[in-house]
Amino acid sequence: MTDLFSKFDPLIQQREDLLATGVTDPFSLVMERVVSPTVAICNGRETILLGTYNYMGMTFDEDVIAAGKDALDKFGSGTTGSRVLNGTYQGHKECEEALKEFYAMDHAMVFSTGYQANLGIISTIAGKGDYVILDIDSHASIYDGCAMGNAEIVAFRHNDVEALEKRLKRLPPEAGKLVVLEGVYSMLGDIAPLKEMIRVSKENGAMVLVDEAHSMGFIGEHGRGVAEAQGVMDDVDFIIGTFSKSVGTVGGFCVSNHPKFEILRLVCRPYVFTASLPPSVVATAATSIRKLMHGSNKRAHLWENSKTLHKGLRDLGFTLGTEEPQSAIIAVIMPDLEKGAMMWEALLEEGLYVNLARPPATPAGMTLLRCSLCAEHSSEQVGEILGRFERAGKRVGIIG
Ligand SMILES: Cc1ncc(COP(=O)(O)O)c(C=O)c1O
């Protein structure tokens, strides 16, 4: 019998080698208590959180929590069914109404996660004989959506408009084409040149899907994302998003103005063949989305935090993923996995949590410490964060 697990041996070995250096396992941290959107107790000590996707700090918003508790009392703990059978409650419709209003779009479809939204929409709308053209650094859920469908997949170099145009021009003019882009790329925190990319996509007869997971709530005047910030909302055919980041709960969605969009509720398998979100979750999501519509002060503060942290880290001598701050994510590049894990642990000992990211999640084989800021981080906390980076960086030998 062939052991089906033998294919994991290199990874098991790599993990054992890393732990043999004495470093704490960076992928099994437990948040013992969460005090606020920016502070938790980890290993018994108070820790500043700089590695969550809680960009707008909505997880402890009073109205959001009250809406969740009320729905739990009135509708119970779960729907126990698919959206197309017994799993559509009033709360799911209200959540979709909130999304339509937030994006000023005609249609909204709520999925159980953002992962399933990408899986479902991409695999369903791009079929046999069609083409999906995607950025090579796309999120796993986009790749998995491609793998689940029957379309031909064409990747192009990250954020390279010319490469996208070249690929498009090589495809049969009459074939169906879906260009898939992200507003913010979550590993380096860089944004896409959506305006140019959408222009070449449209010139070559392609529909465009933009995953705005990491920009919703924060980027753009109304927090609609990078497409809004670059003035191209009207040219995007589908926006994918998640409730697990700025919205502060769990769930995913797609919004669109396509006149035939509603048919997807009957043909999209990751929508049909799974249970719908619990009533408390859609109630918290709807309340949070409505509050995000009025979040301009928080957006401004988050930009300040991002600029201060980016400049501070660069001045300390760290190598960063972008020249300028482009989003709420600031990636600090590490020389290798071992040094990255040591730095991650040193920061944790200082009372600071960041994400350690490594291949295959990261591009070009990089190890990085991903810092994601929150609108609820105070200016004092950002100052503290820089002090902790300086001490840890000198101790590990990443900076001089
Ligand atoms: C770009 C992107 N799309 C989709 C998702 C999936 O979101 P969810 O956590 O709701 O499954 C993520 C999650 O990290 C993401 O980064």
pLDDT at 195: 98
Would you say the C-alpha torsion 167, 169, 170, 171 has a positive or negative sign?
positive
Task: Report the alpha-carbon angle 335-341-344, nearest 5.
Answer: 105
Whether omega for the bond prior to residue 26 falls within 30 degrees of 0, making it cis, is no
Per DSSP, the three-state class of 22 is coil
CA of 252 to the centre of ligand 1 (A): 8
Task: Kindly give the number of the ligand 1 atom that is closest to the alpha carbon of 185.
Answer: 1
pLDDT reading at 363 higher than 90: no
* Confidence at 287, pLDDT banded by 50, 70, 90: very high
Report the C-alpha dihedral over residues 378, 45, 243, 229, rounded to 10 degrees: 30
Whether the CB of 367 sits within 6 Å of ligand 1:
no
For the cut 90, the answer to whether the pLDDT of residue 359 exceeds it is: no
pTM (two decimals):
0.96
pLDDT band at 390 (very low <50, low <70, confident <90, very high): very high
Residue 361 has pLDDT above 90, yes or no: no
Verify whether ligand 1 is closer than 6 Å to residue 211 (CB atom).
Answer: yes
How many A from CA of 213 to the centre of ligand 1?
A: 6
pLDDT of 400: 87
Whether 248 has a pLDDT exceeding 90, the answer reads yes
C-alpha 280 – ligand 1 centre gap (Å): 21
pLDDT of residue 130: 98
Position 360 scores a pLDDT of: 84
Q: How close is the Cα of 192 to the center of ligand 1, in Å?
A: 17
Query: Are the C-beta atoms of 81 and 384 separated by less than 8 Å?
Result: no
Residue 18 — very low, low, confident or very high, per pLDDT cuts 50/70/90?
A: confident
In short, whether 141's Cβ falls inside 6 Å of ligand 1 is yes
pLDDT at 23 over 90: no
Judged against a pLDDT cut of 90, whether residue 180 lies above it is answered with: yes
Q: Indicate if ligand 1 lies below 6 Å from the C-beta of 372.
A: no
Q: Which two tokens stand for residue 213?
A: 């997971």
Q: Is 214 a catalytic residue?
A: yes
Our answer to whether residue 245 is catalytic in this structure is yes
Report whether pLDDT(71) > 90: yes
Which pLDDT does position 26 carry in this prediction? 81
pLDDT band at 109; cut points 50, 70, 90: very high
| Residue 386 pLDDT | 98
Q: What percent of the chain has pLDDT over 70?
A: 100
Tokens of 116: 């399933």
Residue 96 near residue 110, CB atoms below 8 Å? yes
